[in-house]
Amino acid sequence: MVKLKPIESQERMYVRVARRISELVRSGEVKPGDRLPSERDLAEMLKVSRPSVREAMIALEVSGVLEVRTGAGIYVSENVSPSGSDIADEGIGPFEILEMRLLLEPEACALAAERISKEQLAQLRHLYHELERTNGTPEMEAYDEQFHNLISEASQNTAISKSIAWLWRLRGQSELSRGYHRLIVGEGVYPVLDEHAAILSALESRDSKTAREAMRAHLEAATQSAAAHFAEGD
């Protein structure tokens, strides 16, 4: 099995991880067609978080160094150049963005349950109906963003709402996040209606505790769904 040492550098973490793995390809220590250790094992070997490993895998997959075979593992591409590929910093990754949203959005949703206006609730219901209408299509993504940003605005905390809006913009601006989003949409990963319905119901009931839990459950499920791209079969 491939042996890796912990990462030591000031460079962005996922770039460090990606470059370390790319170096193994250049050196010939791992060859085209070789299977890499699992995401969990790579994180333990390198002493980094699993989100950092996932984002390194995204960068390497997009650059053509690795091939992620969902349910089977992570492999060095059969067509990879012997010299490997230069790994550039392509911005903040999708799992870091999701992790930050998980810190902010449940609390914003709890505040919104106490402060949301009747007009905002009406707008939110409309957005939910648009999610229903566009379910399972790329068009759904725009309504999903509006749904979440409206909830953050209803928190009546400008610092929170601007931070959440920035995270959504970042998802589209970061090359790494945008590239991965294209991958999972191609696999049929879209926002889940039932989870949005639970959030809307809690806000309509003005139940802050349930609203917090519904938003947290939604974002945790979204993270798991996105991470399923890297999942290996039993």
| Total tally of structural domains belonging to the chain | 2
Distance CA 222, CA 200 (A): 17
What digits encode the pLDDT tens for the residues 13-54?
Answer: 888 888 888 888 888 788 888 898 888 888 898 888 888 888
CATH code of the domain containing 23: 1.10.10.10
pLDDT above 70 for 2:
no
Same domain, 70 and 99: no
Distance CA 79, CA 88 (A): 20
Same domain, 59 and 128: no
pLDDT above 50 for 234:
no
Residue at 234 is within a domain: no
Question: How many Cβ atoms are within 10 Å of 17's Cβ, its own excluded?
Answer: 27
Residue 178 has a pLDDT of: 78
pLDDT above 60 for 122:
yes
What digits encode the pLDDT tens for the residues 131-142?
Answer: 999 998 989 999
Q: What is the CA radius of gyration of the chain?
A: 20
Residue at 7 is within a domain: no
Same domain, 206 and 109: yes
- Which range (17-26, 126-135, 215-224) has the least confidence? 17-26
Phi, psi of 205 (to 5 degrees): -85, -5
Same domain, 71 and 105: no
Same domain, 25 and 116: no
Q: Which two tokens stand for residue 185?
A: 């949409």
Q: Which of 139, 136, 138, 124 is nearest to 196 (CA)?
A: 124
Same domain, 110 and 58: no
- In percent, how much of the chain has pLDDT > 90? 42
Phi, psi of 145 (to 5 degrees): -60, -45
Same domain, 120 and 153: yes
Mean pLDDT of the chain: 86
Instruction: For residue 47, give its domain range.
Output: 13-76
Residue 14 has a pLDDT of: 82
Same domain, 66 and 100: no
Same domain, 128 and 193: yes
Residue 85 has a pLDDT of: 56
Q: What is the pTM of this model?
A: 0.75
